[in-house]
Structure formats: structure tokens, C-alpha cells
A = this chain, B = another copy of it.
């Protein structure tokens, strides 16, 4: 008799952004005349850069002709893309990697959910709180979380590292020793970034404890301050303790196009086993490569035109971030993030709960944000706004919020 994976049944409610989506859809249905502005989910709104569009058309044409048609891609990605990554994302920053340390995938969400598979089932994970829900949920589904305490909103077997105003949203080293440490910087959802010295502390800690850091660098393109590392491998010793996740979603607008990669350095040995070999085996068994045409699109991001266009897009969104940051500050809100990150993190006013503030903002300003509590218990009392809307909508949304008084 078949039985289900009971770990799936432990998952709390539905996925955060599904809940947000449903609430917005219900509101919009009840108020079809209202112009709802979405600054909630971290989805981009600008079209694909011209260089990417051109590369897609070219690749589609190749697929239309027998001589240039491509079937199954290499499991780990085409060499042309892996080379471009090594050259432009790392070598240019003084980080030496070889192409077989780069694993191309269909998205950083998949990678961040799948990476836990290569670790022992009884591994202990540590996460920032608040946190991108996928890190925790994928471990719940794998049976690593223990039981959920509804009173605290925490899992019994997960180490939480609170990131709040009190510590300037920088996690402290945990008291209990974890096996796997998830770090996302620039951070989703708080928008905080770590300076090199701050990240070095984590690298040293992981090497000392023989823990592995899963470093999610999906937002590195938004870094504006020079002291903030774009890659964890800018820190000494990171190659022996860290996996890095990168994405084309937020820099080049690939949220609906799907492309990402993971870096697993050859030096990263766990228990005497090269972690990259296990990750390669996972790719080879459970994945069949990202589409050829989309890998060509990714390659175009690194071309001269592509780089320029991506920089313009990032600049456009960062202007939005500034509008939100400055507008809310002027209106008396306590805000952070938004400098090295497309996310602005604000303290809800008058001690409102973060879902309460979500409903309040939706009803009174017709603006959608994301409740901090959706990212973990320490997110309660906070709220996330994203810079991914259009400039006009962002200005309008901030104006509406400010007028609430």
C-alpha cells in the first residue's frame, strides 16, 4: 500500500507568495476598479535586454535547421556559458574558478531547494530569521526540520539566527553548531549586505567547524558599496567550505526565462568526498540541462551590449529603491536595505502585525508588499517592498503610503 511522505504534511500553510497572490486576487476581484500596485513578490517588470532578445532569436533560428539543431544539452551546461561565467563573474574579481566548478541550472530556486539532497538526512541546518522560505521548506520536506512549534513559529531541529534592527540585520554566529549554514547576501528579505570582513567571520567559522555554507548571491548585481563582496570566494578559504548560488533572474530579468548556476569548488570536500561530484551526479540523474536557447541568452548577458543593458536595468531598479527608501524615511518610517539590494525592509508602524499591515496597505493604499512574518518569526513587525516595479508605479505607491499619514 502506497504511503505519502509525511514530511510534506508538516509544511505550514501554503507557500508565502501563493498566499500573497491569492489575497491580492481576492481583493482585486472584489474591487475591480482599484489600481493595485504590486511591490510584493520579487518579480522583475522590465523586458529582457536587447542583446538577450537578439541571442534568443538567433538560437531559435539554429534550432530550426538540422545542421545547427541541438538536442540534449551537456548535463552541467554548455561550455560557452560556463566559460563566460568563469571569466566575467569571477576572474574579473580576482577569483579563479574552472568551468567544471560551474553547474548550470534552470533557476536558483531549484538549486537552493535541491542542494540539501547531497547532505546527510540528519544534517542540522542554520538559517537567518527572517529567511527566504525555500531553504527551510526544502529541508522540512527532506525530514530534517523536526516538529513545528506554532507558538514560536519555529522548527525544533533548525538553528535560527535572528536578524533584526538590534543587530543591524547581521546574523551572529550560532550557539549550537550547524552542519549546513544558509546565508543570502545581499539579503532577501532584509536588503542587508555584509562587508568582506563580516563575511570572512563566517568563512572562518565554517572551516573551523567543518560546516558548509550555502551562499545565495542572487542579488549581487545590486551591490553598490565597494567593501561588499560580490562572491563569497573573495574571502580567504571560502573554496573549502562554501557553495555559491547565482541567478540570471534579478540582474538580467530572467524570472520567466529561467537560468542560474551553482559554484561547487573542487576543494570543497565533505567527509572526504568532493561535494561537486555528488552535485554533478544529481544533475546527471535528475535534470536534463537548461534549454539551449536560454543558455545562449545567458551568454549574451556577458557580451559588451548585454553588460551595458543589464547595468542600465539594475540602475533603473535602484532608482526605485531610492524613491522607496527616501519617501518612507521622510514619512517617518524606520527603513533599511535598498542600498546594495532591490529590497527595502521597513518596521511596521504602531506595532502592527506584518500581515495586519499587509491587509491595511492593500485596502487603503492598494499597494502590495510582503509581510515580514512570512519570512520567519523574527520578520514579524517588518514588511518588504521591492524595487522591481515601474518607476511611475513606485513613485505612485510611495506617494499613496505617505499620504496614509
Contact = CB atoms under 8 A, between A and B. Distances in A.
Interface of A: 1-6, 8-9, 11, 14-15, 18, 41, 43-48, 50, 53, 56-57, 60-61, 63-66, 69-73, 75, 106-107, 109-110, 113-114, 117-123, 133-134, 137-138, 141, 143, 179-180, 209-212, 253, 255-258, 270-271, 273, 275, 278, 281-282, 284-294, 390
A180 B39 CA distance: 44
B45 A8 contact: no
A237 to B, nearest CB: 15
B15 A284 contact: yes
Given A256-B292, A288-B110, A5 B278 contact: yes
A45 B118 CA distance: 34
Given A47-B66, A48-B64, A179 B1 contact: yes
A5 B281 contact: no
Contacts of A253: 69, 71
28 contacts: A2-B119, A3-B119, A3-B271, A4-B273, A5-B118, A5-B120, A6-B120, A8-B278, A8-B282, A14-B281, A15-B75, A18-B75, A44-B71, A47-B63, A48-B64, A56-B293, A60-B60, A71-B253, A72-B255, A107-B287, A107-B288, A110-B286, A114-B286, A117-B141, A141-B285, A257-B291, A258-B290, A291-B294
Nearest to A117: B5
A18 B258 CA distance: 25
A113 B71 CA distance: 20
Contacts of A180: 2
Given A110-B288, A255-B72, A8 B281 contact: yes
A63 B141 CA distance: 34
Contacts of A210: 1-2
Contact of A46 (B45, B47, B66, B255): B66
A113 B287 CA distance: 8
Contacts of A209: 1
A88 to B, nearest CB: 22
Nearest to A179: B2
A137 B287 CA distance: 12
Given A119-B4, A273-B9, A18 B284 contact: yes
Instruction: Give the 3 A-B CB pairs with smallest separation, nearest first.
Output: A113-B286, A43-B71, A3-B120
Nearest to A295: B256
Given A118-B4, A120-B4, A53 B64 contact: yes
A291 B123 CA distance: 33
Contact of A212 (B2, B119, B179, B212): B2
Nearest to A67: B47
A72 B281 CA distance: 28
Contact of A47 (B48, B64, B114, B294): B64
* Residue in A9, A137, A281 whose Cβ sees the most chain B Cβ within 10 Å: A281
Nearest to A180: B2
A249 to B, nearest CB: 8
A291 B258 CA distance: 6
Given A138-B286, A271-B3, A48 B71 contact: no
A15 to B, nearest CB: 4
B258 A289 contact: yes
Contacts of A64: 47-48, 50, 53
A153 to B, nearest CB: 18
Nearest to A137: B285
